Amino acid sequence: MRIPARAFPLGVATLLLTAAAAPGARTTVTGGAVRGSVAADGAQVFRGIPYAAPPLDRLRWRAPQPVRPWRGERAAIEGAPACLQNDYGWNRGDATHASEDCLTLDVRTPGLTGKRPVMVWIHGGSNRAGSARGTVESRITQQGVVLVAIQYRLGIFGFLAHRGAAAEAKGHAGNYGLMDQIAALRWVRANIAAFGGDPGNVTIFGESAGSQDVSLLLAAPAARGLFARAILQSGTPGFGMPFRPLGQALALGDQAERLAGVRGIAGLRAASAATLLATDRKLHDPVIARPDSVWNDDMVWLRTQIDGAVLPRSPRALLLAAPRRPVLLGTSIAEFGPAEGALDLSRALRLGFGAHADAAAALYRAPDDRRGGPLLALSTDLIFTCPTEQLATLLAGRGWPVWRYRFDLARDGGRSSHGSELPFLFDGLAIGGQPALLQQLWTRFATTGAQAAAWPRYTPAYPLGVTFDSAGMTPGPLAVPASCRFRSAL
């Protein structure tokens, strides 16, 4: 799942503070002392702080281990490498500067004293690409929050379930990237006070795969107590795909072993990173990657795995048992989809709606100025709009405070697509003449757990929300595509 690249320079991580760097404040965290730098607006910025041990060699496909202490003062000035990933073009900067030693996070804070709300960003990229790189360049901290951006293992390194690893872990395997995110949140709870943050007032937020991971952290029992609220931008459990049971996940691990030409978990751990990255490109999930399906093998790591540990049951079952927390969630009006004509629309409808394909077909016959052509509209609904509506209904029906939005605005004035809201959020672009509107609304939610009075709360009986477009923020009913009623509930 692609998101627009945010082009910020990436340096090489350094251990010792050099005279050439502009030093900022010094503080102590788990592992030792760190010194950051000072941003143009006076914010203190710390980059590349380790929150877990490097997941190398025997630690491949194991739960994250405690941080290894360092001596002296660690320079937290240069951006750390991204986690290992293939080069898909849009992520070339991250793929070029990547390493298995990547379990780090960045922090931006207005100051080291105080007790400010904390916002923890989980980046997108299909759970196989992307990084925290550049996130802490955002001046969203001028709204009075502490910003944290975390990295986690990706692709085959972060989500592969193998029988050998399961044998070492009481039958559980996979979802190491989610384990990394939980470890990072534990680090935040233990250390964020040293950056002027309130460990009892943490909001997790993410876009695309990051949003899906946020939804899974809402479900995961091991993440309870680590954050107070969540913001989901264009991502839900599984993106409309059926959840992957452990047996199917282990079969994918068997496939990886064959493709890599090795034997057992020891062989995979001994394999080169290049071999594993090449293997990742060849993995095939026959359940989702079928002819004329809007889901494909690019989404192999977005299909939610029930690993038995992080996710002991389906996300739905876990969410029904989870503590109620405020949630803000939404989508863009035309996220992404195949080029028109790339798939047979009739077959895609049958794969998406089964016996209801004929009834749904009438809803996708003509292009729409805002939603795009039939395949774009169909993909947006199946992957984003319908699952988001189902999740909002599930949570609000259980009494969770829920706020919904729809984004219909693009930086260039064109059609709103996947990730269109990111520059409005992180760069503070104006909406309807109101500068930094998304920053103000997102940080208000992070501070109070509620929204402005002008933004109505969503309930199944009154499915209200707001639309962001060139006019600004408009409250009212959010029309749900009629085809969503033909999709199975979350």
In sequence order, what DSSP letters do the residues of 163-205 get, joined into one string?
HHHHHHTTT----HHHHHHHHHHHHHHHHGGGGTEEEEEEEEE
Cβ atoms 258, 251 nearer than 8 A: no
> Roughly how many angstroms between the first and final C-alpha of the chain, as a whole number?
20
Cite the active site residues: 208, 335, 418
Supply the range of the domain harboring residue 459: 324-486
Judge whether 371 lies within some domain: yes
Mean pLDDT of 120-137: 97
What does the pLDDT read at residue 97? 97
pLDDT at 83: 98
> In whole numbers, what is the pLDDT of the chain averaged over residues?
94
pLDDT(273) > 80: yes
* Averaged pLDDT for residues 464-490: 92
- Residue 355 falls within a domain, yes or no? yes
Instruction: Identify the pLDDT of residue 389.
Output: 96
Q: Which residue has the tokens 């943490």?
A: 202
- The pTM of this model reads 0.95
Quote the pLDDT of residue 366: 83
In a domain, 73, yes or no: no
The C-alpha atoms of residue 376 and residue 334 are separated, in whole angstroms, by 7
Q: Which of 19-33, 259-273, 442-456 has the lowest mean pLDDT?
A: 19-33
Query: Around Cβ 131, how many Cβ atoms within 10 Å?
Result: 30
Q: By the 8 A CB rule, do 345 and 378 touch?
A: yes
Residue range 236-264: mean pLDDT, rounded: 97
| Distance from C-alpha of 242 to C-alpha of 293, rounded to nearest angstrom | 13
Q: What is the SS3 assignment for 435?
A: coil
The pLDDT value recorded for residue 23 is: 77
Query: Residue 488 has what pLDDT?
Result: 81
pLDDT at 12 over 80: no
**What pLDDT score does 369 carry?**
84
In a domain, 65, yes or no: no
Query: Taking 70 as the threshold, does the pLDDT of residue 377 lie above it?
Result: yes
The total domain count for the chain is 1
- Evaluate whether residue 346 is within a structural domain: yes
Q: Do the domain assignments include residue 240? A: no
Q: The tokens of 53 are what?
A: 């041990």
Could you tell me if residue 411 is inside a domain? yes
- Mean pLDDT across 211-221: 98
- Pick the range with the lowest mean pLDDT from 43-57, 156-170, 259-273, 473-487: 473-487
* Residue 394 is assigned to a structural domain of this protein: yes
Residue 22: per-residue pLDDT: 61
Percent of the chain with pLDDT over 90: 91
pLDDT > 50? residue 3: no
Residue 336 Cα to chain centre, angstroms? 17
| Alpha-carbon gap, residue 152 to 210, rounded angstroms | 10
